[in-house]
């Protein structure tokens, strides 16, 4: 398990984030709200599209990966608090680089996500550092479906 | 609106569209599903955090912008999805009561070698708030169908 402070991170560290099964209902629900393109909403139209069948919005896939990341961190914070330690303040995300959707996510697919620490950079502020994490989703057949680098602020351990 | 095709995009063109009021309720609802961190969930907790008050998940901003793009451009067009996004930058927080709009710049267009019926349009999407501040910038590519099949022209 990777620690929560900036200083706990090293480039190359990896961690599993857990897996999520994408149901047809959830795919349709996300698409109706945020990405109502025919290949995310309608099986017949999707069959005629480049995707050859219904698939999840790419934004749905990455939003789910965020949920798994946040759930893992929350569990870690609770564990720290249970040991009487104060967890670090939460930092905000700055952005994303090199996001790729390499294969469609279909109804019923189970996507396992993982992260790898890709970069560490100090900032002008002594209390925050920038961490780049490569997040990758792989389906039940071992095929990568999405990958992106999330750049976010992490609190520095007080000296 | 007529269906948009690859040929309808010219590098350098800028269009603006959308007007989306963001409510506290939907910020919290999105966060509960996808990004349950205190500064996206609870005003009181958010005030104690680095955000200084309730702010939308960056992924919610992405989703809200996508909806405006779908309504204006993609739905009813020849859009065939995106292979990926070069970059997203979250530059300013989105807060309850903000009104968001989109500014699209066509950065470039290129045919695809392997699929003559499809072309790639490189786009930059800027998300603006009611004060015309840039809150998010996203740059990436979208596949569009070609009005005249590239193969037929050979």
Delimit the domains of chain B by residue range: 6-145
Mean pLDDT of the residues in chain B: 93
Residues A142, A42: contact at Cβ < 8 Å? no
* Domain covering B6-145 assigned CATH 1.20.1740.10 in the classification: no
Domain interval for residue A127: 6-155
Is the Cβ pair A50, B74 closer than 8 Å? no
| The predicted structure's pLDDT at residue B76 | 83
Is the Cβ pair A50, B80 closer than 8 Å? yes
**Residue among A51, A66, A89 minimizing CB distance to B81:** A51
| Coil, strand or helix at A140 | coil
**Residue among B38, B39, B86 minimizing CB distance to A98:** B86
Give the pLDDT confidence of B17-53 residue by residue, as tens digits.
999 999 999 999 999 999 999 999 999 999 988 899 9
What residues in A contact B86, CB-CB < 8 Å? 97-99
Is the Cβ pair A63, B34 closer than 8 Å? yes
Tally A–B CB contacts below 8 A.
100
pLDDT band at residue B78 using 50, 70 and 90 as cut-offs? confident
What residues in B contact A90, CB-CB < 8 Å? 37-39, 49-50
pLDDT above 80 for A100: yes
Greater model confidence, B147 or A93: A93
CA distances from B34 to A4, A47, A84, A137, A143 (A): 20, 28, 28, 16, 23
What residues in A contact B59, CB-CB < 8 Å? 59, 62-63, 66
User: Which strands sit side by side in the sheet containing B118-128, from one edge to the other?
Assistant: A14-21, A110-122, A128-138, A144-155, A93-101, B84-90, B134-145, B118-128, B99-111, B14-21
pLDDT band at residue B150 using 50, 70 and 90 as cut-offs? low
Is the Cβ pair A63, B85 closer than 8 Å? no
pLDDT above 50 for B66: yes
Question: Is residue A114 a part of any domain in this protein?
Answer: yes
Among the ranges given (A22-31, A150-159, B70-79, B103-112), the one the predictor scored with the smallest mean pLDDT: B70-79
pLDDT band at residue A50 using 50, 70 and 90 as cut-offs? confident
| The predicted structure's pLDDT at residue B111 | 92
Interface test with B, best of A47, A52, A70 (most B CBs within 10 A): A70
Q: Does B90 touch chain A (CB under 8 A)?
A: yes
Q: How many domains does chain A have?
A: 1
pTM given for the model:
0.94
Q: Identify the CATH number of the domain in which residue A150 sits.
A: 3.10.129.10
What is the chain A residue with the closest CA to B87?
Answer: A97
Give the pLDDT confidence of A24-45 residue by residue, as tens digits.
999 999 999 999 999 999 999 9
| The predicted structure's pLDDT at residue A26 | 98
pLDDT above 70 for A13: yes
- The nearest CA of chain A is from the CA of B44 a distance in Å of 15
pLDDT above 60 for B1: no
Whether complex ipTM tops 0.90: yes
pLDDT above 90 for B151: no
- The nearest CA of chain B is from the CA of A124 a distance in Å of 16
Which residue from A39, A7, A156, A38 is spatially nearest to A106, judged by alpha carbons?
Answer: A39
pLDDT above 50 for B153: no
Question: Is residue A1 a part of any domain in this protein?
Answer: no
| The predicted structure's pLDDT at residue B147 | 86
**What would the two tokens of residue A32 be?**
């109706």
- Arithmetic mean of pLDDT, B91-95: 98
């Amino acid at each position: 398990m990777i620690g929560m402070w900036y200083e706990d991170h090293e480039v190359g560290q990896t961690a599993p984030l857990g897996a999520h099964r994408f149901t047809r209902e959830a795919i349709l629900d996300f698409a109706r709200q945020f990405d109502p393109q025919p290949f995310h909403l309608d099986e017949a139209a999707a069959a005629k599209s480049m995707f050859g069948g219904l698939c999840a919005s790419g934004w749905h896939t990455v939003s789910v990966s965020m949920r798994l990341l946040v759930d893992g961190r929350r569990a870690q914070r609770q564990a720290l608090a249970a040991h009487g330690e104060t967890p670090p303040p939460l930092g905000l995300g700055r952005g994303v680089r090199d996001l790729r959707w390499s294969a469609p996510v279909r109804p019923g697919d189970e996507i396992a996500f993982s992260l790898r620490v890709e970069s560490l950079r100090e900032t002008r502020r002594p209390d925050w550092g920038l961490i780049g994490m490569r997040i990758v989703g792989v389906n039940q057949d071992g095929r990568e479906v999405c990958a992106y680098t999330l750049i976010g602020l992490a609190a520095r351990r007080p000296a | 609106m007529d269906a948009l095709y690859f040929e309808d995009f010219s590098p350098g063109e800028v269009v603006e569209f959308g007007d989306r009021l963001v409510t506290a309720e939907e910020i919290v609802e999105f966060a509960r599903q996808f990004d349950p961190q205190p500064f996206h969930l609870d005003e009181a907790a958010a005030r104690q955090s680095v955000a200084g008050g309730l702010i939308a998940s960056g992924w919610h901003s992405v989703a809200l912008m996508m909806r405006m793009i779908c309504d204006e451009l993609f739905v009813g067009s020849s859009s065939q999805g995106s292979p990926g996004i070069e970059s997203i930058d979250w530059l300013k927080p989105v807060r309850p009561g903000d009104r968001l709009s989109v500014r699209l710049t066509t950065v470039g267009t290129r045919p695809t070698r392997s699929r003559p019926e499809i072309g790639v349009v490189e786009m930059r999407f800027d998300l603006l708030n009611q004060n015309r501040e840039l809150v998010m910038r996203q740059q990436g590519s979208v596949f569009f169908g070609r009005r005249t099949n590239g193969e037929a022209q050979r």
